[in-house]
Amino acid sequence: MGVIVLIVDDDDSVRFFHRVIVTRSKLSSRPISFGSGEKALDYLDQNCSENDLYLILLDINMPGMNGWDLVDAIGGKTYHNQVYIVMVTSSVDREDHEKAKSYDMIIDVIEKPISDEECKKIMNSSLITQYL
Amino acid sequence: MKKQIKILLLEDSEDDADLIQSELKHGAINFTSLVVDTKTDFINGIRDFKPDLVLSDHAMPQFNSVEALKIYKDQLKIQKHNAPFILITGTVSEDFAVQCIKEGADDYILKDHLHRLPTAIENALEKCRIENENQKTAAEKLLLLERYEYISDATLVAVWDWDIVNNSTYCGKGFEKIFGHACDPNAENNNLNTAFIGVEDIERVVSGLEKAMESGDNNWCAEYKYLKANGDFSFVQDNAVIIRNEQGKAIRMIGAMKDITDKKKEDLRLKLLESVIANTTEAVLIAETDSLNTRLLKILYVNEAFSKMTGYTNKDVIGKTPVILQGEKTGQDALDQLKNAFEENKPSKVEMISYKKNGEEFWIQLSVTPIADDNGEFTLWVFLERDITQQRIHIAAIEDQNLKLKEIAWMQSHVVRAPLARMMGFINLINPGSDADIERAELLQYVLNSARELDGIIRAIVEKSEKINDI
């Protein structure tokens, strides 16, 4: 049993940056990146194992299926209580925070650029540590 | 020829009656007569024969002259008319004669002196005629005076009567009642009418009056300020007739002054209100409900601003229905709201597209208000219209601008920050002390790309900002 970290962002430079930070902060040695919500959902549908927990660093603004759409889609899946999500956005507004509170699976909303400290904070959150 | 006189002769002796009648004929009296000798016949005679004169014997078997005199004079009193009663008697005492005269008999003649009768009759008739005439004149005078008093009470006028020849003036009670100036009827020259004309008006009034007197006019009229006893000024209207002698010279003037202060004030107030309605820049239209079909409105009045706004002149719209102002694009909602207001007699305010005479459409804000007549029926409607086309255009422009500003705000909060956040992240990675295994050149490329992206976004914002014009 382990924690699999997914990075979902339409911008490849952001994906690159997140991968650097995630690995450097030792949140995960092998995060998996997706350029769209649809691709991330496909992956989960096909590979989700009962033994694993999934932590998604999820961009809010994306063409096609945006961050919120993906959260809603996962909410309807059987594996939804194996998924934890950190919403990552260029600018956080109050609306995003309010909205995030109504989802149990969203554990935080953070503003880009994500920092090492923030990654460590995620790692230390009690929900995740039990599986790490 | 003299008028024939009717004589009622109260005489029980036929001989005496004949004698009297022949004496009358002898005296050239033109007469008809009725001879009676009882009380009943006497009363009937008075009623039916309607005598001009009674000649009465003194003593008769069942009747006497004193009683006859009383009956006759009482009857005459009721008719408010006097006629002679002459006593004819054989023997009479001086005392009795005096008493009869006191009772109202006009004369007495002894049977021995019947030759005096025609003269006595003519004298008595003449005396009564003069009396009757005086009485009639007095009654007429009294009636006229009464009528004058009633008229001045009813019309609240102050009457003056100027004797131009003797330069004296009579002023009526109205001067006290209306203006508070006590009027002494015994004063030699009571010129209350001219004494209190306002200083600023007196010259104009006097010269107008002189002009009227010199011209052949028989009427004069003026309006002026008049000082009341309490120090206030009244506006009066003075109407007079000019009475002229045979040479046409004015010898007397009779006038009536009326206090028209309230009317003047009301006129002024109405004039002011009317000028407000006529001159306001808001279009005003007044319509009345049709007497046959209360759901139909007919235009009574439109002001200048209405004509300017719509192009319809007074002539174009009077008598027409206000429906001419609406058209194809007038919103159904607005029309429903108006219909509702008309049905419930409630004021209402709507914004709608209206049409000018030339077919041009424009936005108006229309407020309609019902006005009740004396019976509480809402028969009049006042329409106030304001052209809000410019306002509408303005609001549309502001709304459009708002949208653009919102877009800019969104870009600033979301789009601008995305490349900036990336740059911050990559610069953090380039920091000395960071992992050296990442190619610096690659990181710099990422920073440069983000910087270019940010530049593009800022240029887009500038471009959008330039499209926002002053409104």
B2-15 pLDDT, tens digit each: 678 999 998 888 88
ipTM metric = 0.82
The per-residue pLDDT for B437 is 63
The per-residue pLDDT for A49 is 84
Backbone angles phi, psi at A121, to 5 degrees: -60, -45
Does residue B77 carry a pLDDT above 90? no
Among residues of chain B, what percentage have pLDDT more than 90? 37
Determine the distance in angstroms separating the CA of A78 from the nearest CA of chain B, rounded to an integer.
33
B446 touches chain A (CB under 8 A): yes
Give CA separation, B439 vs A35, B124, B434, B442, B448, in Å. 23, 162, 11, 5, 14
The per-residue pLDDT for B194 is 85
| Of A25-34, B280-289, B372-381, the least confident | B372-381
| Of A23-37, B100-114, B336-350, B370-384, the least confident | B100-114
Average pLDDT over residues B227-255: 93
Residue that is written with structure tokens 């007429």 in the block: B140
In 3D space, the residue among B21, B62, B22, B18 whose CA is nearest the CA of residue B42 turns out to be B62
What's the half-sphere exposure (Cβ side, CA atoms, 13 Å) at B375? Answer: 4
The per-residue pLDDT for B110 is 84
The per-residue pLDDT for B362 is 93
Burial of B209-219, coded b for 16+ CB within 10 Å and e otherwise, reads beebbeeeeee
Q: Which of B411, B412, B423, B428 to mutate to test the interface with A (most CBs of A within 10 A)?
A: B428
What's the half-sphere exposure (Cβ side, CA atoms, 13 Å) at A129? Answer: 7
Query: In what order do the strands lie in the sheet containing B31-36?
Result: B31-36, B5-10, B53-57, B85-89, B107-110
Intra-chain end-to-end CA distance of chain A, in Å: 9
The per-residue pLDDT for B366 is 94
A72 touches chain B (CB under 8 A): no
Does residue B349 carry a pLDDT above 80? yes
Separation of alpha carbons B105 and B339, rounded Å: 90
What is the enclosing helix (H) or strand (E) of B311? none
Specify the higher pLDDT residue, B431 or B73: B73
E strand map for B245-360:
250-259, 283-289, 297-302, 348-355
Handedness of CA B372, B373, B379, B380 (dihedral sign): negative
CB pairs under 8 A between A and B: 45
Q: Which of B414, B422, B435 minimises the CB distance to A113?
A: B422
The per-residue pLDDT for B470 is 65
Whether B83 and B52 have beta carbons less than 8 Å apart is answered as: yes
Those residues of chain A that have pLDDT short of 70 are: 1, 126-132
The per-residue pLDDT for B301 is 93
Chain B residues within 8 A of A24 when measuring between CB atoms: 435
The per-residue pLDDT for B296 is 83
Q: Which of B421, B435, B438 minimises the CB distance to A113?
A: B421
Whether A81 and A107 have beta carbons less than 8 Å apart is answered as: no
Band of residue B332 on the pLDDT scale cut at 50, 70, 90: very high
* CA-based radius of gyration for chain B: 52
In 3D space, the residue among B29, B89, B18 whose CA is nearest the CA of residue B53 turns out to be B29
Burial of A42-61, coded b for 16+ CB within 10 Å and e otherwise, reads ebbeeebeeeebbbbbbbbb
The per-residue pLDDT for B390 is 92
Whether A83 and A33 have beta carbons less than 8 Å apart is answered as: no
Burial of B47-64, coded b for 16+ CB within 10 Å and e otherwise, reads eeeebbbbbbbbebeebe
Residue B222, SS3 per DSSP: strand
Chain B residues within 8 A of A115 when measuring between CB atoms: 428
Q: Do the chains contact at B413 and A91, CB–CB below 8 Å?
A: yes
The per-residue pLDDT for A131 is 62
Q: Do the chains contact at B417 and A17, CB–CB below 8 Å?
A: no
Q: Which of A10, A11, A15, A16 to mutate to test the interface with B (most CBs of B within 10 A)?
A: A16
Strands A53-59 and A3-8: parallel
Band of residue B436 on the pLDDT scale cut at 50, 70, 90: low
B448 touches chain A (CB under 8 A): no
Q: Which of B417, B435, B438 minimises the CB distance to A90?
A: B417
Residue B230, SS3 per DSSP: coil
Take residue B308 and report the two structure tokens written for it. Answer: 């300017």
Question: Per residue in B295-305, pLDDT tens?
Answer: 788 999 999 99
Does residue B188 carry a pLDDT above 60? no
pTM as predicted: 0.48
Specify the higher pLDDT residue, B289 or B302: B302
Whether A108 and A87 have beta carbons less than 8 Å apart is answered as: yes
Does residue B312 carry a pLDDT above 90? yes
| Of B7-16, B90-99, B458-467, the least confident | B90-99
Specify whether the backbone of B156 is left (phi greater than 0), alpha (psi in -120 to 50) or beta.
Answer: left
Backbone angles phi, psi at A125, to 5 degrees: -65, 135
The per-residue pLDDT for B219 is 93
The per-residue pLDDT for B113 is 85
Separation of alpha carbons B65 and B89, rounded Å: 10
Maximal C-alpha separation, chain A:
36
The per-residue pLDDT for A28 is 87
Q: Which of A13, A93, A114 minimises the CB distance to B446?
A: A13
- SS3 percent helix, strand, coil of chain B, rounded to 5, is 50, 25, 25
Question: Per residue in B203-216, pLDDT tens?
Answer: 999 999 999 999 88
Specify the higher pLDDT residue, B189 or B12: B12
Determine the distance in angstroms separating the CA of B455 from the nearest CA of chain A, rounded to an integer.
17
Q: Do the chains contact at B421 and A111, CB–CB below 8 Å?
A: yes
Average pLDDT over residues B131-137: 89
Separation of alpha carbons B320 and A68, rounded Å: 63
Q: Do the chains contact at A112 and B449, CB–CB below 8 Å?
A: no
The per-residue pLDDT for B185 is 62
Q: For the residues of A91-120, what is the DSSP string, one character each?
A: S--HHHHHHHHT-TTEEEEEESSP-HHHHH
Band of residue B189 on the pLDDT scale cut at 50, 70, 90: low
The per-residue pLDDT for B435 is 59
